[in-house]
């Protein structure tokens, strides 16, 4: 069914791309055509066939995300290189394969050389599932060419790791490299004023400084040390290497050739593609239809079997909060305060929903939107169990919306905390004046133009903003203290905008347990006393086909081009990405509870 749908969509879209103009009539034709294709595919009796002695194949270049609204349509239009797969599908497939007598092994395929953007906390959940699979006695085989830290973190759990003779492994440690725009803003005449509370609340430093402040450097270093420590412990345990030996490798070389990787016990053997094919055929036998392949079932196809739902009138709702938190409805890649609050309210009023798991993967954002969401979480918690599952990042506003719940689960390498508040204001006085633009104002009171971009704020205006930030921070502390049953003084000590790893957050009481999405779901079922009689419902539901198609046409060209960018263009796109954060700054009061910096782990 998946192949039919992809081919049909690709054919339809390919024909439509030949049109010079995408008129309203064309869009209507697309809607009808796509609808017909989907209906045909849905009504098809074709089912996924899983041959005996199959190998479940996982493409390591596919990014694993919590929620992918585009799903199959996105795959068909954007191309193989841009495909993503949802975490729940991956976990379900691995666990189902462990019990499926037709599946003999898992193949972790890194042969196409492309890199995924999956976060390490997400990879931790997948890695744990792979460990469960291997514990059944079934084999895991991994093959790669240029192995980055993400691929190696996952592949290290395999029984055997093969590497191309011309391949390499990057095991040089973690870094967080942040762009600072102060000098550029000074050059062009853009003014930035930041008010904040919390020693470590350093997000505004991206715009107001030219390097890390001492406090930001301290917390970032500790966070990286914790994440790197978890990496060394997990990889070392699987490869029978000590964390100390891995650290020495990172310090002495960092990058290892295939031969050096074998010598240092990072991998087991070298193999060309034909040789790894022979190894896989030894396990499964050759494919009956294609003797140049092995009996394989790709995880996206197997997921159609693994994800089959059981029917029950009693349901657990899993709602995904993924992206920056913004006021209003939000758009793709954002959490709209109003839209998520409305969805939570609907789950609260739905009598069939017996428990809710809120999956949070967010660096935070608007303080107002975060509080609107939290209000609905509190009301929901009074009616039925609410369990939080933290993904790669659940910090600041992401933590704000997580507090009132029965239990908070996080992975050991989840990034969380960041309990602090900032206010940020830009002005363009110098930039405008340099280009002959001036402003004049007529007002009825002294503070009528307090939010203008035409000039810097006065000391009185800054003091008012600081007081607002202080008040919101105090409210944040009170809510954490109440919900987590911690003395406010202790919360104040561990807050200060500081970011914590999941393992440290558990030690200080900000999270309850180390675990992933399935752990949270199981706990929700137990708390609601559902035994095994329940059905999973996931929210939000996918967008309409027409909307997804139009969005894909609008954005797919740039997305595809990112795969082949030269190094200079890649760096320029990073600048664009950093500045694009500003589109999320729509809090009506200009007050934000957000991760202190645009944290990216390399």
Residue 443 falls inside a structural domain: no
Whole-angstrom distance, CA of residue 55 vs CA of residue 138: 10
Residues 240 and 128 in one domain: yes
**Per-residue pLDDT, 491:** 95
Which domain-ending residue is among 281, 306, 331? 306
Residue 369's nearest CA partner among 588, 124, 542 is: 588
Residues 162 and 58 in one domain: yes
Residue 7's nearest CA partner among 73, 66, 65 is: 73
**Per-residue pLDDT, 75:** 47
Residues 274 and 228 in one domain: yes
Which domain-ending residue is among 277, 306, 335? 306
Among the listed residues 71, 201, 407, 551, the single catalytic one is: 201
**Per-residue pLDDT, 572:** 53
- For 132-146, write each residue's pLDDT tens digit: 999 999 999 999 999
Which domain-ending residue is among 306, 335, 359? 306
Q: Is the dihedral of CA 260, 263, 269, 274 positive or negative?
A: positive
- The whole-model pTM stands at 0.82
Residue 453 falls inside a structural domain: no
**Per-residue pLDDT, 41:** 45
201 is catalytic: yes
Q: Which residue has the tokens 């349509």?
A: 73
Share of the chain above pLDDT 70, in %: 80
Whole-angstrom distance, CA of residue 337 vs CA of residue 231: 34
Residues 271 and 411 in one domain: no
Q: Is the dihedral of CA 234, 239, 244, 250 positive or negative?
A: negative
Residues 403 and 269 in one domain: no
SS3 category, 112:
coil
Residue 428 falls inside a structural domain: no
Residues 370 and 499 in one domain: yes
Residue 396 falls inside a structural domain: yes
Domain of 350: which CATH number? 3.90.226.10
The answer to whether 84 touches 68, Cβ cutoff 8 Å, is yes
The answer to whether 179 touches 580, Cβ cutoff 8 Å, is no
Residue 398's nearest CA partner among 345, 335, 344, 488 is: 335
Cα–Cα distances in Å, from 123 out to 117, 127, 173, 247, 358? Answer: 10, 6, 17, 21, 19
Residues 287 and 339 in one domain: no
**Per-residue pLDDT, 559:** 38
Q: Where are the beta strands (DSSP E) in 292-406?
A: 296-298, 315-322, 324-326, 334-336, 353-362, 364-366, 386-395
**Per-residue pLDDT, 451:** 84
Whole-angstrom distance, CA of residue 581 vs CA of residue 172: 29
Residue 164 falls inside a structural domain: yes
- For 200-252, write each residue's pLDDT tens digit: 877 788 888 899 999 889 999 999 999 999 999 999 999 999 999 999 999 99
Residues 382 and 321 in one domain: yes
Residues 70 and 17 in one domain: yes
Residue 465 CA from chain centroid, whole number: 32
Strand partners, 591: 423
**Peptide bond between residue 540 and the one before it cis (omega within 30 degrees of 0):** yes
Residues 137 and 20 in one domain: yes
The answer to whether 143 touches 271, Cβ cutoff 8 Å, is yes
CA atoms within 13 Å, Cβ hemisphere of 69: 21
Domain count, the chain: 2
Residue 188 falls inside a structural domain: no
Residue 371 falls inside a structural domain: yes
Among the listed residues 366, 396, 402, 465, the single catalytic one is: 396
For the chain, which residues score pLDDT lower than 50?
1, 4-5, 8, 10, 13, 15-30, 34, 37-38, 40-46, 72-81, 543-564, 568, 571
The answer to whether 400 touches 417, Cβ cutoff 8 Å, is no
**What would the two tokens of residue 401 be?**
């919306």
396 is catalytic: yes
- For 323-355, write each residue's pLDDT tens digit: 999 999 887 788 999 999 999 999 999 999 999
Residues 102 and 141 in one domain: yes
**Per-residue pLDDT, 160:** 97
Containing structural domain, residue 517: 315-422+459-557+573-594
**Per-residue pLDDT, 537:** 93
Residue 210 falls inside a structural domain: no
Whole-angstrom distance, CA of residue 270 vs CA of residue 347: 52
Residues 227 and 375 in one domain: no
């Amino acid at each position: 069914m998946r192949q039919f749908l992809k081919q049909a969509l690709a054919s339809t879209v390919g024909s439509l791309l030949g049109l010079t103009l995408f008129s309203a009539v064309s869009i209507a034709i697309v809607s009808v055509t796509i609808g017909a294709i989907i209906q045909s595919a849905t009504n098809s009796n074709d089912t996924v066939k899983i041959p005996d002695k199959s190998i479940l194949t996982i493409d390591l270049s596919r990014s694993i995300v919590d929620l992918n609204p585009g799903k199959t349509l996105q795959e068909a239009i954007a191309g193989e290189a841009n495909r993503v797969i949802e975490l729940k599908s991956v976990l379900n497939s691995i666990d189902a394969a462990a019990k499926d007598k037709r599946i003999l092994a898992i193949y972790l395929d890194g042969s196409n050389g492309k890199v995924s953007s999956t976060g390490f906390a997400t990879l931790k959940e997948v890695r744990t599932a792979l460990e469960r699979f291997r514990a059944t006695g079934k084999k895991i085989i991994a093959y790669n060419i240029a192995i980055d830290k993400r691929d190696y973190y996952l592949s290290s759990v395999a029984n055997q790791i093969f590497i191309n003779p011309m391949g390499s492994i990057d095991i040089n440690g973690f870094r967080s490299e942040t762009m600072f725009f102060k000098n550029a803003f000074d050059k062009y005449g853009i003014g930035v004023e930041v008010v904040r509370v919390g020693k470590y609340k350093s997000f505004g430093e991206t715009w107001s400084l030219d390097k890390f402040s001492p406090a930001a450097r301290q917390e970032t270093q500790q966070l990286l040390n914790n994440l790197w420590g978890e990496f060394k412990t997990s990889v070392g345990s699987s490869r029978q290497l000590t964390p100390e030996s891995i650290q020495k490798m990172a310090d002495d070389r960092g990058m290892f050739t295939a031969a050096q990787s074998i010598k240092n016990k990072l991998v087991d053997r070298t193999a060309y593609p034909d040789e790894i094919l022979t190894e896989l055929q030894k396990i499964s036998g050759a494919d009956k239809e294609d003797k140049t392949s092995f009996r394989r079932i790709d995880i996206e196809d197997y997921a159609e079997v693994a994800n089959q739902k059981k029917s029950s009138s009693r349901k657990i709702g899993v709602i995904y909060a993924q992206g920056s938190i913004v006021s209003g409805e939000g758009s793709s890649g954002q959490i709209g305060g109003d839209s998520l609050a409305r969805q939570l309210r609907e789950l609260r009023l739905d009598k069939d929903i017996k428990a809710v798991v809120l999956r949070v993967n967010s660096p935070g954002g608007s303080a107002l939107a975060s509080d609107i969401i939290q209000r609905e979480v509190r009301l929901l918690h009074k009616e039925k169990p609410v369990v939080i599952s933290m993904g790669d990042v659940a910090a600041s506003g992401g933590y704000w919306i997580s507090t009132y719940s029965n239990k908070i689960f996080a992975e050991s390498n989840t990034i969380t905390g960041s309990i602090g508040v900032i206010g940020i204001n830009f002005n363009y006085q110098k930039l405008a004046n340099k280009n002959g633009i001036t402003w004049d104002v007529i007002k009825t009171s002294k503070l009528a133009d307090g939010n203008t971009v035409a000039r810097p704020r006065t000391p009185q205006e800054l003091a008012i903003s600081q007081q607002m930030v202080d008040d919101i921070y105090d409210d944040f502390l009170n809510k954490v203290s109440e919900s987590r049953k911690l003395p406010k003084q202790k919360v104040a000590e561990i807050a200060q905008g500081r970011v914590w790893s999941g393992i440290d957050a558990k030690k200080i009481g900000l999270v309850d347990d180390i675990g992933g999405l399935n752990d949270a779901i199981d706990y929700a079922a137990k708390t609601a006393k559902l035994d095994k009689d329940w059905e999973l419902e996931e929210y939000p539901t996918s967008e309409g086909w027409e909307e997804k198609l139009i969005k894909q046409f609008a954005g797919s060209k740039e997305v595809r081009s990112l795969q082949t960018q030269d190094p200079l263009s890649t760096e320029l796109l990073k600048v664009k990405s950093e500045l694009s954060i500003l589109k999320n700054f729509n809090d009506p009061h200009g007050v934000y509870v957000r991760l202190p910096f645009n944290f990216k782990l390399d």
